[in-house]
Structure 1
């Protein structure tokens, strides 16, 4: 073998080994390191999670869901009346003041109107005047009747005219008596009496004040309230009115009495919605014998909502409320299917829904609009 050939072979081998080391170094510097591999794996996992998310299914079941709704209420007097003067007069005497407990028919104030006494005397005089005229015409008629018993002495026409005059005068007497009663009724109006048992909560007059019939902007003489029984008034929103009955009982608190709870039974339902509030008015009777509660106090009221049979109950997290719709995500063959629903009452983390669902269906427990309609899912 020639020495030149041997030297050439060694030279070629050295060059090949040098190239191999250089290529390995280049490949080592260009290939991904461990951190890059982890980031790539995480990215792949995130893409996979978005494209095929893993969800927790929950079965659709039917049942009952009872709850309460907290609404503001107001305590009103069971009865309240503003007392005005019926006739123009002056305050002569006051028997009560603010805070006075009064009974039905009790005299609260007396008024004075001298012209009414004059009118009463005039009406009495007119009665006497009409009675005198009537007695005269009756006497004339009676004489004509007696005279007519002798044939030819009195004509039938004169007799009928006398009878008509007597009847007309009698009618005038009755009219005068009615006028007297009318003036007498005005005298009764000079006494202001309580129409029911209650408390005087306002007095707007003093002795000698000129008073008259109430009108717009006119303050009443007295304001009388029945505080032994109060009306608790609330307005329940339209979506919660279905099934409310007067057999239900509410609980309420008032700020002045802290956490002390009161109960009251629903007595009256409006049966219609207020056009402005879109709510139904409910009234409860509250007996207030110890007078702890005051009229026009505000109350925080818990109204029981009716439970419905055969209602689909789902976790609140399973219902998605977006700007466009309310829906749940139904699981069909490992694919997501959006189903439009309507929500009912909510309680204890659950909610009533109605829609194209039936018992046995599976829905996503933690639903969101990121799980697109028709996308594959894992569970």
Structure 2
């Protein structure tokens, strides 16, 4: 007859399989552009300074535009002349004096004059470099008198009202984030955490890397946050709940892992599948529920069906659990 074997036990408790994923992302401005002139020429006036905050449509630089200004003045004069001719021909036509062909010709000349005026206005506008959006300028290296072409970099303009971060995550986390979800970010050299909000998620999975891309935004970033900085993005995913037991309670057979669950005073072999290990605890999948008791010490003294005894002063509180990091 088998004698009762004294063992230590542990209550089974369920806990979600919490996994933390980390990814590195580099910030960039929500809008960024290197501004270049629309035409070639000599710089006449520089209206900007390095690091200046500008608004959309603000003039930053002007090229020599004497020729364009003369052409614009001539185009305006031509429009005025064409309008006077059109009015006179129209009055004559209303009295039956001017033929239809002469009236049609006056309409055509007025249209051509107005079109030429639009071209002259556009040519003058192209002698200016203006801000396409509101933002902050980079370093200005041009001065009056410099010759520029359409390939000359005038200045970089960035909208720093929001910073973007693109990062990738494993495909099995797909569905954990939605636009509007928050992720924690921290600078690579600091443990201080900040929050970024997901604004877009890629529609597909990279077939080679088995990852997908996520775009997050830092709204109203701190003054020290700049484009090009590296951040660690942290995502915590709460998975399914599994029974949690001490790692020492796991035994390994020839085909499977198992634990010894105490049922009516006897040790019963119960097959389990190890899901995750963390801080001396194991998340398992098997025929275990909250409140079940498993042998945590003395497992090697027992066989399936062996009677056991538990000391009265033994603590069978469930072990504390943590989260895994990837």
TM-score range, shorter chain: 0.5 to 0.7
Q: Which residue pairs with 1:193 in the alignment?
A: 130
Residue 329 of structure 1 corresponds to 257
Q: Which runs of 5+ in 1 are unaligned?
A: 1-55, 146-158, 321-326, 366-376
Kindly indicate whether the alpha-carbon contact (under 8 Å) linking 1:249 and 1:304 is maintained by their aligned counterparts in 2. Answer: no
Report matched runs for 1:225-264 at 5 Å: 225-246=158-179, 248-255=181-188, 258-264=189-195
Cα distance in 2 for partners of 1:97, 1:185 equals: 26
Residues 178, 201 of structure 2: 8 Å contact kept: no
State the match for 1:323 in structure 2. Answer: none
2:120 to 165, 183, 202: 183
Instruction: Check conservation: 1:109, 1:193, Cα contact below 8 A.
Output: yes
Deviation at 1:261, TM superposition (A): 1.0
Q: Deviations over 1:135-165 (max 9, x none)?
A: 56435423426xxxxxxxxxxxxx8xx2243
| Structure 2 alignment gaps of length 5 or more | 1-7, 261-266, 297-301, 305-326
The alignment status of 1:112 with 2:99, answered yes or no, reads no
- Indicate which of 220, 232, 235 corresponds to 1:303: 235
More strand by share: 2
Q: RCO greater where, 1 or 2, for CA within 8 Å and sep 6 or more?
A: 2
CA contact (8 A) 2:246 2:281 kept: yes
C-alpha deviation, 1:110, in angstroms: 1.6
Call closer, same or farther: CA 1:299–1:351 in 2, change over 3 Å.
farther
Aligned twin of 2:42: 90
Q: Within 5 Å, which residues of 2 pair with 1:1-379? A: 63-128=15-80, 130-131=82-83, 133-135=85-87, 137-144=89-96, 162-213=99-150, 218-246=151-179, 248-255=181-188, 258-273=189-204, 275=206, 277=209, 278-289=211-222, 291-305=223-237, 307-311=238-242, 329-330=257-258, 348=279, 357-359=286-288, 378=303
Q: As a proportion of its length, which structure holds more helix?
A: 1
Contact 1:238 1:280 in 2 (8 A): no
- Cα distance, 1:244 vs structure 2: 1.7
Counterpart contact for 1:313–1:350, Cα < 8 Å: yes
Give the number of aligned pairs: 279
The two structures, once aligned, show a CA RMSD in angstroms of 4.2
Is the partner of 2:114 in helix, strand or coil? helix
* Structure label with greater radius of gyration: 1
- CA deviations 1:35-71 (Å, max 9, x no partner) are xxxxxxxxxxxxxxxxxxxxx9999975412232121
